[in-house]
Structure 1
């Protein structure tokens, strides 16, 4: 057995720009890892995220440092135990899943002990902007079953009302990206309750979660930046109602499946989210998202162009990957 690893940095233009409370971007930059063995090839993709101290350069350096172990033939569980959670491990872990699937000639879902994955209703994300601009975005996509709205300013009540008025029939998730404060939280919660918001992601900065246990939460609240790995969960139970599991945070599908099961044991609802990446990054998350209460795997829809073949999206549905893409 001879395993060879190659990496590539790829840049995919975003359709327009993507804005959250921390800033805007016009390009999705991803690191792709390819593992070749016995004539078979497996791929994984990650999106380095500056919020977590990651850069393209740091991920490439970490992958290169792991090369001897990866090319020696280590498996997913050894990788999970020997490398910290994060984007680097995600690319490697998902490449190992894909490689194993190709070598064994069976789908990754079968390797995971799951039934064939089904199509899922995914959120479609709207960027942060002024209320009128966000209302225009919401009206354009009001036919979608589930919208995710980026907020996170000192006063988002007008944005919440404008979006709800423009998309009266859509379920709505709000993502504050740590942008609210203890002082304005009750004000925003009241606006969310009035607008029948389904879920609020990470209203307060990570590390300030304890405040959520001291107030009434009239709308379910979901941890995102505060949760990266299974060991984070016990301290969040009782403060949050749900957790957003992203492969780039957990360090791959192997850890993400463990986290999902542990979260359910703590009576936490599951949201499966993504960074802005291509269908290769979303494909393994389709396994994780089976049975999740909230699915946000719209990354490719935000790009000017995706990989080919990519995931199939129809209306609000996203369909499982073809083997030519992943798994």
Structure 2
């Protein structure tokens, strides 16, 4: 059996808070035992409210920040060890496309240099051929050769994001982490960039870890969906399975809150919106982290943290997922 291209195992990330006023030793629990795997050629979407740990997960899996505990693997190899021993091999295999295409491009460098740097740094192809290779990469993402000598400020937001995608693809990665790659773009441009990513995936077989707030979008692009809440994966399964029904109470409320054409927010059978605020990651609740907002909370939820376990056709972090499944 082929190993996943990228896998997280009980990944945790904690950020210490500076001392003072008797608060030394406090930490932000950004990730808490996250486990998931991205298979070759697939799109795994990660969704959840702001502050749930999605971008922290992306930064850990790209090696931009070290995890506090747990491990992650690249094609079956220990990625942490690879980053120490052969960081260039890791960085060629795992690329990232950031949310803001203007902030992620050097405003003082022309597009030919921005994309060409990836080829130069990784020693891909002779120097004399790089400009031609960059032109091919731009053509692959729908840009013309005339864009080679432009600066980022001379491009639209959609064109800048296409450049960022071309830069990520230049080194032929096995997985690209897309951290909210279209949220800063107009709706019409979002569709173009998503279709571009799908076309690239069909041609190259690259895998995506796709982080997004747009639930309708991930249903369109992803083969599987992982739902995160307060630093934990609470449900993960195929898009088809989650479209039929969600089993975790948070997943149900999250997807029910998404606007849906032709259906009112208070339509019969639709779960009510969540009450209460998201707890602080500095002081997460004991037991199930969702119990303070969950309509199904029982005494056990307040003291015993549920494991992410198989229920029917997916994994769910809930003590009472079977009962919820029967009622769904």
User: TM-score, normalising length from structure 2?
Assistant: 0.32
Larger Rg: 2
User: TM-score, normalising length from structure 1?
Assistant: 0.32
